[in-house]
Amino acid sequence: MAQGTGQATEQDATRRAEQGTFAGMPVPLYPASPSRLMAWLDCPRRYRMQYLDRPRPEARAQRAHTSVGITTHNVLRDFWDLPELQRTPDGVGELVRTSWIDLGFRDAEQSAAWRQRVREAVVEYLRGMDRTRQPLGLERSVALRTGSITVTGRVDRLDDRDGELVVVDYKTGRQVPTEDDTRTSLPLALYAAGVARTFRRPCVRVELHHVPTRTVVAHEHTTESLDRKIDEAESIASDLRRVDADFGERGVESSSFPPRPSALCTWCDFRAHCPEGQQMGPEKSDWAGLDSDSYAQSALHATGGN
């Protein structure tokens, strides 16, 4: 999901949905996004700080692996805007250079090394694709409306493969996704359902593309499995409607947002404001999320950009 302005719009819509209604009026649809739903499942305390607290607690500075991920996504988006003759390794290199985000790295040397690794990984990822076949959508916003919720999300890439719509989500982290990750992913299922509603065409295939290793894992949903995921989203949103209202009445004194301590606490952007999270171990460094091994695999197969 987009951050910044998009998040503010979603928060405003949530406040409007929480306002009281006159007797006989329908209950407003709950506005959500896949990231908002997943934040609640990860940790109610973090959800409150990220989406409800005003003023919002200050989050930690951006980590290096986030800079790598954002840069990679931006390059894979902008690549398709290049003229076909410029869709080359040199073209990718220039996009990486101009898109590079120099935040969170240990020093300038580490940043430069990762910039080169991202270039090599994206080149190798794109090498196996038909670079003349334009995606149907890039960072395309889609929406889904049910009887109780509205869900908006943004798809990294939407392909039209001989009439079949396919949702593609890029991954750049250290963990290589599995088929089970694709099958069980609530965001991917909601994207597929949103694409089907937006384009009025069936969309059941979802894919996770791990750019560093060029791993692609796919799952073919059915109408029934997508309906189950929509039911899951509605159930989570029902909980959120309740706790949002409780927060509106009690603020930070609400007991609806207990912390959920886990290993994720050492990575949490709001750890400084959560004593329970601080007890889960030392905070990770800004560059701890970088996985040299996965990008090194790409570098071994790179051809020097020719």
DSSP per position, 68-106: HHHHHHHHHHHGGGS-GGG-SHHHHHHHHHHH----S-S
Note the pLDDT of residue 295: 52
Note the pLDDT of residue 51: 98
Note the pLDDT of residue 302: 35
Note the pLDDT of residue 2: 40
Note the pLDDT of residue 22: 60
135 has a pLDDT exceeding 80: yes
- In DSSP notation, 196-243 reads HHHHTS---EEEEEETTTTEEEEEE--HHHHHHHHHHHHHHHHHHHHH
Q: 22-67: per-residue pLDDT in tens?
A: 666 778 999 999 999 999 999 999 999 999 999 999 999 999 999 9
Note the pLDDT of residue 17: 47
Q: Indicate the pLDDT class of residue 21, thresholds 50, 70 and 90.
A: low
306 has a pLDDT exceeding 50: no
Note the pLDDT of residue 304: 34
Tokens for 306, please give them.
């020719």
Q: Indicate the pLDDT class of residue 128, thresholds 50, 70 and 90.
A: confident
Note the pLDDT of residue 293: 52
Q: 148-180: per-residue pLDDT in tens?
A: 999 999 999 999 999 999 999 999 999 999 999
Note the pLDDT of residue 15: 53
Between β-strands 137-145 and 164-171, what pairing exists: parallel, antiparallel or unpaired? unpaired
Strand partners, 168: 157, 207
Note the pLDDT of residue 273: 97
Q: Could you give the CA distance from residue 6 to residue 186 in angstroms, rounded to a whole number?
A: 20
Q: Indicate the pLDDT class of residue 91, thresholds 50, 70 and 90.
A: very high
Q: Could you give the CA distance from residue 251 to residue 254 in angstroms, rounded to a whole number?
A: 6
CATH topology of domain 136-239: Lambda Exonuclease; Chain A (3.90.320)
Note the pLDDT of residue 16: 47
107 has a pLDDT exceeding 80: yes
Note the pLDDT of residue 212: 96
Note the pLDDT of residue 205: 98
Q: Could you give the CA distance from residue 244 to residue 127 in angstroms, rounded to a whole number?
A: 47
Size (the chain), residues: 306
Contact 205, 225 (CB under 8 A): no
149: left (phi over 0), alpha (psi -120 to 50) or beta: beta
Residue bearing tokens 């009690």: 250
Q: Could you give the CA distance from residue 101 to residue 121 in angstroms, rounded to a whole number?
A: 16
Percent of the chain at pLDDT > 90 equals 85
Sign of CA dihedral 86, 93, 294, 262: negative
Tokens for 38, please give them.
């997943």
Q: Could you give the CA distance from residue 81 to residue 62 in angstroms, rounded to a whole number?
A: 27
Q: SS3 of 21, please?
A: coil
Q: Rounded mean pLDDT of 99-117?
A: 98
Domain ranges of the chain: 52-134+258-306, 136-239
Note the pLDDT of residue 291: 72
Note the pLDDT of residue 6: 46
As a whole number, the mean pLDDT across the chain is 90
